[in-house]
Structure 1
Amino acid sequence: MRLLTFLAFLLFPISAQAACEGVDLRPQLPEETRARLQSAVAEIAYPEGNHWIARKGDTVLHIIGTLHTFDPRMEEVIDRLSPELNKADAFYFEVTQEDMNAFEQNMANDLTAVMITSGPTLIDLMTEDDWDALSTALAQRGIPGWMAAKMRPWFLTMMLSIPPCMIQDPNATYGMDARLNDLAVEKGIPQHSLERIEDLMAMFDSHPLEKQVESLVRLSGAMQGNADQLVTMANAYMEEKHAEIIQFAHLQGLEQSGLSPEAFDAEWRNFEQQMLVQRNANWMAQILDIRDQTVVIAVGAGHLSDDYGLLNQLEKAGYVLTRAAF
């Protein structure tokens, strides 16, 4: 998610190094796993397509699925999309760059949003072995143990998903969102946020601290991102296979977690409910208020597919959807 990579660069030092280098893991999948992946994707509504146009009366919505991380292939995509998107009346992002900048200024003076400010620290709430494993993984991402011990578990869970090589790449966050932001700024097109960062953090922090610690320990192995996963995600994104990205993450997470399928699926459902289902529902309340305009709605590609996805919800709301060139 764009906010987490933004926070990573805000809170921790980076160094100019080569971009992440890895391999696409999908060709290496065993035949049985590949069949399970394809079967899961086949059951999902709107599994592909990074650019859809939703029409209802005089309202035209360009739904753009984005990837929040850098990929040089995006430059050609922007060149193809620009002539059409330049005509938009407004751009809607998860969070606009202007709101990100305002949040950055607040965070510079107050880190309580991601810190445990009173009571026990994570060292007190975890076994020694669990803490040692977690602190080692976080150190690889530039987060020292003394700081990690006082950070909120939901934040650390998501930080683990960011590959260490990405933390070290100053260009890492120049993804599709940032490029579309530049396009809107260049053309003087108004921008709007679909959510407030403060509301998003409150949602993540809604579970008791002990429950967050339990999930952090259970998922720490499954959530650790690496260069191969980043390359796999980027390739699938450029192929416009956003449902495959999520289902691949589910299958690989189960394998790496060491949990039973039942235990892992319970954690996954909670993650899915917060990161996708609930946020999509909140965004739709704003999107459906857009009338008689042509707008661009640019959000993470993982928000497009499935029953709870924006595309399926727009269809149910009476919009006519057409897949467009990307």
Structure 2
Amino acid sequence: MSLRRRLAALGAALLAAATLALPAAAARECVGQNLFERMPPERLAELDAAAEGVPYRQGLFWRAEKDGQRVTLLGTYHFADPRHDLTMDRFGPEIDEAALLMVEAGPEEEERLTRAMTADPTLLVDPDGPTLPERFTDAEWKSLSAALEARGLPAVIASRLRPWYVAVMLGVSPCMMRVIEERGDPGGLDHLLVERAEAAAVPVRALEPWDTVFTLFEGMTPREEEDMIRAAMPAAEYADDYAVTLADAYFSGDSWMIWEFGRFDAYDNSGLTRDEVDEQMRLAQEKLMDRRNESWIEPIERAAAEAAAQGKGVVIGFGALHLPGDHGVLRLLENRGWTISPVTVEGIGDGG
């Protein structure tokens, strides 16, 4: 979930650079079914068991305190949803009084990213290596190209996309892409936090450099790249249902269930063995979450100390999947002596 907002924006930049356009459509909410609600009880129990024991699995909003320093951590959902209003009602006034808002990428970083993509499409397109049709079977390429076509990426362009980008874009539903096209941005909680901070003249600082996304998947073997796409393909077949399930899982306060859903869905439908799926999940967690989480701790602690010197706190927003786990931000802070406590928002995290 954590990079999809920026990756969707990258997709828009790529299409602009190629003088292509996404299909025109009126902005609307994604319509689909919650996949958990129609899942056999025994499979749902398997997912629950797999998520059992993950530290800080439940909850989206947290407070971290240490030696008079105060940090409010908000797990975000990167796409538009009217339920974000509840979050902003609760934390908007806190942002107004904060010394600083920190997010994965602020306006400056997003602008630099867009400029770089427009100037150099090879950041996402490989002009020299083997094409995707050459790397997959005819049947695989037929399914993959259809999924990318539905996301506004014609086969002639999609055939040379870098595999890491293809894998992550498969998690963005065609409906989400249409909404982004109509709105001009994903409209997620991250953007709402930044808008509130800018209105209150509160500084906004990025947790990581603007070009982080281009370094995350370095060092993968060709087979690992291909299996990354294979593992992502099943959910792309019912992307709007997946989008609804993702949003509902987030607002129920249990984003980790979507992570396990992706694993079990790949077990059933990707054609990979369980060991191969588990390796893909391990790589994805390490590259998309764990390494980044660890790199954020020092900037967070430095910002908290600066804010405390002003008698203020810091508000930080980042994708909700960065919160839980042994290498999640909350456990990493706890291990460094911070006291972690949940913050409740009525209507979110209680099944609503």
Q: What TM-score does the superposition give when structure 1 sets the normalisation length?
A: 0.93
- What SS does the aligned partner of 1:174 have? coil
Pair 1:322-2:341 in alignment: yes
Pair 1:295-2:295 in alignment: no
- What SS does the aligned partner of 1:37 have? helix
Other-structure match for 1:305:
324
- What SS does the aligned partner of 2:123 have? coil
Alpha-carbon spacing, 1:324–1:250, altered in 2? closer, same or farther (3 Å): same
Other-structure match for 1:274:
287
CA offset digits 1:270-303 (Å, max 9, x no partner):
1111111111111123223331521111000011
Distance 2:188 2:210 in 1: 19
Pair 1:263-2:291 in alignment: no
CA contact (8 A) 1:163 1:224 kept: no
Q: Which of 11, 27, 32 is the matching residue for 1:8?
A: 11
**How do residues 99-114 of structure 1 correspond to structure 2 at under 5 angstroms?**
99-114=109-124
**How do residues 101-180 of structure 1 correspond to structure 2 at under 5 angstroms?**
101-169=111-179, 170-171=182-183, 173-180=186-193
Q: Which of 49, 61, 65 is the matching residue for 1:51?
A: 61
The aligned amino acid for 1:42 is: E
Deviation, 1:238, is 1.4
Q: Which of 23, 28, 34 is the matching residue for 2:44?
A: 34
Distance 2:61 2:75 in 1: 6
CA offset digits 1:120-160 (Å, max 9, x no partner):
32233333332222111111111011111111011011111
The aligned amino acid for 2:269 is: Q
- What SS does the aligned partner of 1:54 have? strand
Other-structure match for 1:236:
249
- What SS does the aligned partner of 1:95 have? coil
Other-structure match for 1:193:
206
The aligned amino acid for 1:4 is: L
Pair 1:182-2:184 in alignment: no
Other-structure match for 1:252:
265
CA contact (8 A) 2:231 2:266 kept: no
Q: Which of 219, 222, 231 is the matching residue for 1:206?
A: 219
Alpha-carbon spacing, 1:264–1:74, altered in 2? closer, same or farther (3 Å): same
Q: What TM-score does the superposition give when structure 2 sets the normalisation length?
A: 0.87
Pair 1:22-2:41 in alignment: no
CA offset digits 1:41-91 (Å, max 9, x no partner):
321100111110100112111100000011111112211211222211111
Other-structure match for 2:239:
226
Distance 1:43 1:196 in 2: 32
Percentage of matched positions with identical amino acids = 29
The aligned amino acid for 1:190 is: P
What are structure 2's unaligned runs of at least 5 residues?
16-20, 308-312, 346-352
The aligned amino acid for 1:155 is: Y
Give the stretch that moved more between structures: 304-313 or 8-17: 8-17
Q: CA RMSD in A?
A: 1.9
CA offset digits 1:89-142 (Å, max 9, x no partner):
111111112210122122212112111032332233333332222111111111
The aligned amino acid for 1:175 is: G
